[in-house]
Amino acid sequence: MDHKATTVPPQAAHQERSLGKSFFILVFSLIYGVALSQIPGNEFKDYDNYLIYARSSLLIFANNVQGGLVQLCLMSPFGF
C-alpha cells in the first residue's frame, strides 16, 4: 500500500484549517452580535449622551469648528 497516496497534502490541510477557523470566527461573531443587540438601550452608561449628540450634532460641530483645528479633528462631542 502506498503511504503517499493516502496522506493529505500540506497545502490542502492548511486550507481546511483556515476555512474551519474562518467559519468559527464568523459564527462566533454572529452570536456575539446577536447577544449584544439584545441588551436594552437604557443599560448603556452613555446612551443619553449619544442621543444628545445625535439631536445636536450641527451645534456640536459648530462649537468644534470655533474651538480650533485640534478640537475639530478630535470631534469630542462634549468638549473633553
Q: What is the pLDDT of residues 26-73, one digit of tens each?
A: 999 999 988 887 877 666 666 677 788 788 888 888 887 887 887 777
Cell numbers found for residue 23: 467559519
Q: How confident is the model at residue 4 (pLDDT cuts 50, 70, 90)?
A: low
Query: How far separated are the first and last CA of the chain, in Å rounded?
Result: 73
Task: Report which DSSP code applies to 7.
Answer: S
- 54-79: buried (b, 16+ CB within 10 Å) or exposed (e) per residue? eeeeeebeebbeeeeeeeeeeeebee
Is 23 or 77 the better-scoring residue by pLDDT? 23
Give residue limits of the domains in the chain: 8-38, 41-80
Q: Considering the entire predicted model, what is its pTM?
A: 0.37
Cell numbers found for residue 27: 459564527
Angstrom distance (rounded) from CA 65 to CA 14: 52
